[in-house]
Structure 1
Amino acid sequence: MAMTDLLKAEEIKKALDAFAAETFNPKKFFEMVGMKAMSAENVKKVFQVLDVDGSGFIEEEELKFVLKGFSKDGRDLTDAETKAFLEAADKDGDGKIGIDEFEGLVHE
């Protein structure tokens, strides 16, 4: 499944452009691409696209490339942005983001 099967390409582009510099805010990004208004089931489908290795988790290494999961034109997150994203979503402190943690962050 492609990200554009779940989200509008123009909204993805607009959100990526808004965070072109070192200012990535996952909650604001998810709202801009339309994920906040999605059902929990559809947010979980987005998670599955972002979970590149299919482990059921988005680990720190995958998180760095999360914007590329939305569009090949997306940039890599900086180390600081990656850590902040992980801290915002990783509620159980295991160093990775599970599907329920991801959905919780989107709808927080």
Structure 2
Amino acid sequence: MAMSSILNADDIKKALDAFAVADSFDHKKFFEIVGLKSKSPDDVKKVFTVLDADNSGFIEEEELKFVLKGFAKDGRDLTDKETKAFLKAADKDGDGKIGIDEFAALVKE
């Protein structure tokens, strides 16, 4: 499933452009700009499914690094620092990965 079937393509471009520079990624602002914050729980789950590249039911650190590419092929990779900060913000149970409930809670923050 393409992210553009869930979110507005212009919003995706705006969000990626806003964080084009390394170490500038802010998940709260990103989810707001991309329009995910105002989406239904079902749409948030669809986005999670796209980002869960290996279909494990979790977004692991390795998948998190490529999260922007999940929104658009020309998205940049997150730096290690950004990836760790994103994981730390979302991983409430400390298991080193992000489940759907953790992702949904993070989006709505």
**Counterpart-to-counterpart distance in 2, 1:27 and 1:89:** 11
- Counterpart residue identity of residue 5, structure 2: D
Say which SS state the counterpart of residue 15 (structure 2) adopts: helix
* 1:26 maps to 2:42: no
- Which segments of structure 1 move beyond 6 Å, counting only runs of 4 or more? none
Question: What residue number does 2:46 align with?
Answer: 45
Q: Which runs of 5+ in 2 are unaligned?
A: none
Question: What residue number does 1:69 align with?
Answer: 70
**Counterpart-to-counterpart distance in 1, 2:10 and 2:43:** 18
Q: Which runs of 5+ in 1 are unaligned?
A: none
TM-score normalised by the chain length of structure 2: 0.97
- Please state how far the C-alpha of 1:8 moved relative to its aligned partner: 0.7
- Please state how far the C-alpha of 1:77 moved relative to its aligned partner: 0.1
**Counterpart-to-counterpart distance in 2, 1:28 and 1:41:** 21
Say which SS state the counterpart of residue 23 (structure 1) adopts: coil
| Number of residues of Structure 1 aligned to a counterpart in Structure 2 | 108
- Please state how far the C-alpha of 1:68 moved relative to its aligned partner: 0.1
CA RMSD of aligned residues (A): 0.5
Question: What residue number does 1:13 align with?
Answer: 13
Percent identical across equivalent pairs? 75
